Chain A
Amino acid sequence: MNLSTNPGIWAQAICILAVYTYLYKDNPIWRFAETTYLGLATAYWFVFYFHNYIVVFVKDNVMQNGEWHYILAIILGLMIFFRYVPSLAWLARYPMSFWVGFGTGYVLGFAPAVWLTQVRTSFIALNSVENVLIVIGILATLTYFFFTIAKENPVVGGIAEVGKWYIMIALGSAFGNTVLYRWNLFLSRANTIIVDWLGVTP
Chain B
Amino acid sequence: MLLAQEAKPVLGVLAQGQVADFVVVLLLGIFIWVLISRARTGRKIPEIKKIAGLEAVDEAIGRATEMGRPVDFIPGIQSIDEPQTLAALGMISHVAKQCARYDTRFLALTCDPLPYAVIEEITRQAYLEEGRPDAFNPDDVRFLSAEQFAFTSSVIGIFERERPAANIMVGSFYAESMILAETGSFQGMIQIGGTANTHQLPFFVAACDYALIGEEIYAASAYLSKEPVLYGTVVGQDWLKMLVWLIILVGSVMATVAPDNTWLKDLLQL
Contacts and interface: CB of A to CB of B under 8 A. Distances in A.
B114 A96 contact: yes
Contact of A172 (B79, B117, B202, B256): B202
Contacts of A24: none
B206 interface: yes
A150 B216 CA distance: 15
Interface residues of B, number: 69
A35 B47 CA distance: 47
Given A108-B25, A139-B248, A31 B157 contact: yes
Q: For chain B, what secondary structure do more than half of its interface residues adopt (helix, strand, loop), or is it mixed?
A: helix
A127 interface: yes
A92 B146 CA distance: 20
Contacts of A175: 202-203, 205-206
A34 B203 CA distance: 23
B176 interface: no
A37 B268 contact: no
Interface in A164-197: 167-168, 170-172, 174-175, 178, 182
B234 A122 contact: no
Interface residues of A, number: 60
Q: For chain A, what secondary structure do more than half of its interface residues adopt (helix, strand, loop), or is it mixed?
A: helix
B58 interface: no
B245 A106 contact: no
B154 A145 contact: no
A80 B143 CA distance: 15
A38 B219 contact: no
A112 interface: yes
24 contacts: A26-B160, A37-B150, A42-B146, A45-B147, A96-B80, A99-B79, A99-B114, A103-B86, A119-B268, A120-B265, A120-B268, A120-B269, A123-B248, A125-B256, A125-B259, A126-B255, A135-B252, A139-B245, A145-B214, A146-B242, A147-B215, A168-B205, A171-B201, A175-B203
Interface of A: 19, 22, 26, 31, 33-35, 37-38, 40-42, 44-45, 80, 83, 92-93, 96, 99-100, 102-104, 106-109, 112-113, 116, 119-120, 122-127, 135, 138-139, 142-143, 145-151, 167-168, 170-172, 174-175, 178, 182
Interface of B: 17-18, 20-21, 24-25, 46-49, 51, 79-83, 86, 113-114, 117-118, 120-121, 144-147, 149-150, 153-154, 156-157, 160-161, 178, 198-199, 201-203, 205-206, 213-216, 219, 234-235, 238, 241-242, 244-245, 247-249, 251-256, 259, 264-265, 268-269
